[in-house]
Amino acid sequence: MCDYSLHSVKSRPAKVGDKLTTRNFNTGTRGFAASEDASMAVCVLPGTELAFTRPVSYRPCGLLWRAGIVNQTTAIFRQINKDEPYTHHDALEFPDGRIVLLTDLFEHQQATVLQLPAQPATAAEAASQKRVAFVG
């Protein structure tokens, strides 16, 4: 249910109202930690809506060494590049269309789970909510 890099970490599924914190789990990726236990990964399904307590900051890519900032506080959890097995897939999509990998977020940012995705009514909807099962 979590990114493959977090399979060796104790985890639980996300629930509406959960208070989450971005954390480096020392497994090669960052993810969401439970507020009640910082060593527990919280696995988020694609389509889950999140609200951050402040604009989201993330580590820079490329030659620029300053932090990126998304001046928005809501996002939808997505999985991207599902057909590429050796890359990170967990990402956040912001209202302006920007997509940022979850592993690129700086630690200690707080978010609340606003809404879980609706239960799939069709096979296509179920496929869109299916998590990638390989390394990434």
* pLDDT at residue 136 in the model: 40
Q: Does residue 119 lie in a domain region?
A: yes
Q: Does residue 8 lie in a domain region?
A: yes
Q: Does residue 134 lie in a domain region?
A: no
Q: Does residue 135 lie in a domain region?
A: no
Strand partners, 65: none
Q: How many domains does the chain have?
A: 1
Give one DSSP letter per residue of the chain, joined into a string.
---GGGTTS-EEE--TT-EEEEEE-SSS-EEEEETTEEEEEEE--TT-EEEESS-EEE---TT--SPEEES--EEEEEE--TT-TTS--EEEE-TTS-EEEGGGBPTT-EEEEEEPPPPP-SHHHHHHHPPP-S--
Mean pLDDT of the chain: 85
Q: Does residue 30 lie in a domain region?
A: yes
- Find, among 19, 21, 20, 6, the residue nearest to 108 by Cα: 21
pLDDT, tens digit, for every residue of 57-80? 998 766 566 778 899 999 999 989
Separation between Cα atoms, residue 4 and residue 78, nearest integer Å: 15
* pLDDT at residue 65 in the model: 67
Q: Does residue 54 lie in a domain region?
A: yes
Quickly count: other Cβ atoms within 10 Å of residue 128's Cβ: 15
> What's at 47, amino acid-wise?
G
Residues of the chain with pLDDT under 70: 1-7, 61-65, 127-136
- pTM for the structure as a whole: 0.83
Domain span at 59: 4-129
Q: Does residue 69 lie in a domain region?
A: yes
If you count them, how many residues does the chain have?
A: 136
Q: Does residue 136 lie in a domain region?
A: no
